[in-house]
Structure 1
Amino acid sequence: MAAKKNFPLRIDPTLYEALERWAGEEFRSVNGHIEFLLRESLKRAGRLPDRKPRDEQL
């Protein structure tokens, strides 16, 4: 698995609080939930390159 890219994110406190609640409801960290939401948005927009299923990568 490739290393993840770290970067600072400035976000409105109210938006962060809403994300924090939502992430908790989904049993994810805020970081994990943001990544999930971005990935889903990119898929819907057709901007995420196709990847092989995890089993085929081994």
Structure 2
Amino acid sequence: MPERKQVLLRLDPAVHDAIARWAAAELRSTNAQIEFMLRRALSEAGRMPSNAAGMRGRGRPARVEPEEATDER
């Protein structure tokens, strides 16, 4: 997956608070909620790029157990 873009976004504090509350209710981070809202708006406007990667699932990524080290001597 290509590296994700970082964007500085300036928001009215009341708008940020409303998004943060909505995100908490949906069990998302504020950042994920903003991306969710932007993707939905793009889809509804028929402007979602066909090559856009899907959103990452909710919550922490699954834990990957390290492979057991073999101690061959």
TM-score by length of 2: 0.67
Give me the CA root mean square deviation: 1.9
TM-score by length of 1: 0.83
> Which string of whole-angstrom CA distances, capped at 9 and with x for unpartnered residues, describes residues 10-49 of structure 1?
0000000000000000000000000000001100100012
Structure 1: gaps of 5 or more residues: none
Q: Greater helix percent: which structure?
A: 1
**Identity across aligned pairs (percent)?**
44
Structure 2: gaps of 5 or more residues: 55-73
Ranked by relative contact order (alpha carbons within 8 Å, sequence separation 6 or more), the top structure is 2
